[in-house]
Amino acid sequence: MQKRWEFTEYDVTEATELHQQLKIHPIFCQLLVQRGINNFDAAKKFFRPQLSHLHDPFLMKGMEDAIQRIGQAIIKKEPILIYGDYDVDGTSSVALLYRFFSKYHPHLHRYLPDRYKEGYGISIKGIEYAATHQCTLIIALDCGIKAHEAIQFANQKQIDVIVCDHHLPSEELPQAYAILNPKQKDCPYPYKELSGCAIGFKLIEGFAQLYNISFEQEVKPILDLVAISLACDFVPLTGENRVLSFYGLQQLNENPRLGLKTLMDLLGKTNTYSVRDVVFGLGPLLNAAGRLVHASKAVDLLIAQEEESAKKLAKELLAINQERRDIEWNMVVEAKQTVQDDIIFAEKKAIVLFKENWHKGVVGIVASKMVDQFHKPTIVFTASNGRIVGSARSIQGFDIYQAIAQCEDLLVNYGGHQYAAGLSLKPSNLEEFTQRFQRIVAQNIHPLQEQATQYIDATLSFSAINDKFWQLLQQFAPFGPQNMRPVFSSKHLKDTGYSKLLKNRHLKLVVQEEKGTTMEGIAFGLGEYIHDLQAKKPFEMCYVIEENSFKGKSKLQLNVKDLRFRS
């Protein structure tokens, strides 16, 4: 698919002034300004994140009420139910609070809903579980902000609910005892983009402050779970999230909890874990439990205290994830074939697919694969418990949540954000929903959004790429949404004659710029350009810089995103 190249804009004057203050390569000043960092103090804070940069947890609306209620429950020995969603953010949240509060309160229960029998969010069954076990307090994590009915049911059972959620609230909030969500309209908390687990962390941080519990000894060590949630929930890695991610990855790499260390050992990765490694390595394994079996297995691993038990659970998650991959592969093949068989597919601005026997736990992954392949907003539906349930994924710049919201009258429920959402509806409404959704997307999508876009941060000469440049570039990490690994472009390039095709799909590149500097690179999925390279056509390319380690030796190489040839 031909991509449109778009260079990220920046204020040249601000970048020049910042260069005068920092005295580093001008490219880095450009990158900083693009990220909203335009003075020495802001740059220092960016390059040297400190735990002291974290905001006071008591700035969050509801925090004092929540902590006092938990303290009351501990004093009165009330059973507490820790309730979380079944994805990585939810399971890491439950593990986080369970491990922390179990040191101070033996009367803890944990509950994760069954994806197939209960669905997303606080369920009536979950409330009934709390009542059966005499729990008088529920702490709901990564869910609950729209659980009006379930929370009302809890209130009727004399069960208080504390909601720790980061999803966008409706106009009317549920009648919970306390709600921790920076996105509440009147919440003064300065940073709005925390994950559900990060909000759970702020609750613990506030509790530790109030009860004089050591941050260094008891709170900081749980940041490995926060880092995993931030990475896997794709929240912006800016501001407070950047600080939490930085120290959480440090904890993960230096002293991870037993369950994570066991999982990492099984994966066999020996070098330092980055956000990307978490997303593509640990994340799918932890998510697989909730997709195919039950999310409690992921929590069991994350709170494991015995080595034998951790090994058994880790191996089980590996096996479950392999099964998930097999199911996913078959579904993707079917979905692609369905799209290709649609004779009017080219006219449609969105993809809506339904097959009643597709696996509910994998539809979100398949939707993402369809977006990658066809670059259109996509919803993939399957049948579950008499309903049609689906997962939606979007393209850059198009708000799929708002498009779904315009079909609210046809839905049983829905939730999510700009680029990913979940929804369910009655079977009788599927056809009307599909037609209306297609119409809404067609009316609102911009022509430029329909073409895949490669965003580029800066133009760079190969001669600038050296160890010193790499070391400073690494200080922009942790990389993630709104702070992605910088993409550079280089012009006036030619093939050295040593580039070759790998597996008929990929390119192993050895290319040279006109000034004479040569760089090696890998271009996944761009094997179609091998003949242009062999024909010695001049070209330009965009790429990220990475370090390739092999047999104990490391060297810098380019991970090429796209090529453009001149005729």
User: What does R_g of the chain's alpha carbons equal in angstroms?
Assistant: 25
Nearest-10 crossing angle of helices 148-156, 124-132: 20
**If residue 382 lies in a helix (H) or strand (E), which one and from where to where?**
strand 378-384
Measure the CA–CA gap between 122 and 279, rounded to whole angstroms: 26
The pTM assigned to this predicted structure is 0.92
- Rounded to 5 degrees, φ, ψ at 382 are -145, 175
The candidate with the shortest Cα–Cα distance to 202, out of 176, 229, 175, is 229
In angstroms, how far is the first alpha carbon of the chain from the final one?
A: 19
Q: How does DSSP classify residue 127?
A: H
Residue whose token pair is 């998650």:
317
As a whole number of angstroms, the distance between CA 149 and CA 412 comes to 13
The b/e string for 463-478 (b: 16+ C-beta within 10 A; e otherwise) is eebeeebeeebeebbb
Using CA atoms, how far apart are residues 524 and 463, in angstroms rounded to an integer? Answer: 24
Whose CA is closest to 88, among 222, 195, 169, 188? 195
What pLDDT was estimated at residue 95? 98
**Residue with tokens 């809903």, as numbered in its chain:** 113
Predicted confidence at residue 1, as pLDDT, reads 64
Residue 468 is encoded by which pair of tokens? 């010193």
Contacts of 30 (CB under 8 A, 6+ apart): 10, 15, 457, 458
Residue for token digits 């890491």? 92
Pairing of strands 539-550, 488-495: antiparallel
The runs of H, that is alpha helices, within 157-257 are: 196-210, 223-232, 239-254
* pLDDT tens series, the chain, 567 aa: 678 999 999 999 999 999 999 999 999 999 999 999 999 999 999 999 999 999 999 999 999 999 999 999 999 999 999 999 999 999 999 999 999 999 999 999 999 999 888 888 899 999 999 999 999 999 999 999 999 999 999 999 999 999 999 998 988 999 999 999 999 999 999 999 999 999 999 999 999 999 999 999 999 999 999 999 999 999 999 999 999 999 999 999 999 999 999 999 999 987 899 999 999 999 999 999 999 999 999 999 999 999 999 999 999 999 999 999 999 999 999 999 999 999 999 899 999 999 999 999 999 999 999 999 999 999 999 998 899 999 999 998 899 999 999 999 999 988 877 888 999 999 999 999 999 999 999 999 999 899 889 999 999 999 999 999 999 999 999 999 999 999 999 999 999 999 999 998 999 999 999 878 999 999 999 999 999 999 999 999 999 999 988 777 889 999 999 999 986
CB-CB contact of 63 with 91 (8 Å): no
**What integer pLDDT is reported at residue 318 of this predicted model?**
96
The rounded distance, in Å, linking the Cα atoms of 438 and 348 is 7
Residue 156, C-beta contacts closer than 8 angstroms, at least 6 positions apart: none
**Does the bond joining 478 to the residue before it have cis omega, within 30 degrees of 0?**
yes
* Distance from C-alpha of 77 to C-alpha of 136, rounded to nearest angstrom: 10
Supply 516's token pair: 């004479």
Both tokens assigned to 314 = 């880790």
Per-residue model confidence (pLDDT) at position 515? 75
What is the reported pLDDT for 526?
94
- The separation between CA 468 and the C-alpha centre of its own chain, rounded to angstroms, equals 30
Contact at 8 Å (CB) between 521 and 560? yes
For tokens 């479950």, the residue is 320
d(CA 299, CA 218): 19
pLDDT at position 269 is: 82
- Rounded to 5°, the CA angle 44-48-49 comes to 115
- Separate counts of helices (H) and strands (E) for the chain: 21, 19
